[in-house]
Structure 1
């Protein structure tokens, strides 16, 4: 779907999903914290670069999942965020998400 991204199989995709979860939960918050002044200066647009760095790191750490450069990582993070947003809207309506929140 994105030129420059290749996945060799279903196993590689599953491993990449697990690695992406770990990178998003540990590495990405640290990158965001360290680049906070630049993020504020660019009004949040530098977070797109942080997402691309995290996506590229997943490609580096996962065998069978390759990212061939910065722009494929950037476009891959765009596609992943749009797909995630679409699936969240498809499966979770506004009422469902607010009623499951424990502090309402």
Structure 2
């Protein structure tokens, strides 16, 4: 149940990012079941990438995290958002991020919205 709630939280956060950040988009028609299904698939991809690749990057780039007082995490999150976009395109999922800055701001929005929703929802 916890996994399903996390996927739904990330899907909601991705939806907010697509609404607020130009350059982060789902290219199916809005309001349809396919649109929301795409959000769920992208949330799964994003969650898998964060679960598998992010710990490796954090371990390798530990010095950068220390030297930048954690600000390097913003760059890593943007890269993971771009990687999610690339994997989505390879799987023919209509999710696209146009470049680094939309990925940067989109990752910040996803992080903030996910954090707020995790405060509101029970464990």
Q: Does 1:4 align with 2:4?
A: no
Query: Of the two, which has the highest radius of gyration?
Result: 1
Q: Alignment length, in residue pairs?
A: 93
Moved over 4 A (4+): none
1:66 to 91, 96, 109: 96
- Structure 2 matches for 1:30-69, cutoff 5 A? 30-62=56-88, 63-69=93-99
Q: TM-score, normalised by structure 1?
A: 0.82
Q: Secondary structure at the match of 1:25?
A: helix
1:7 CA drift (Å): 0.8
Aligned residues: CA RMSD? 1.2
CA–CA separation in structure 2 for the residues paired with 1:48 and 1:78: 7
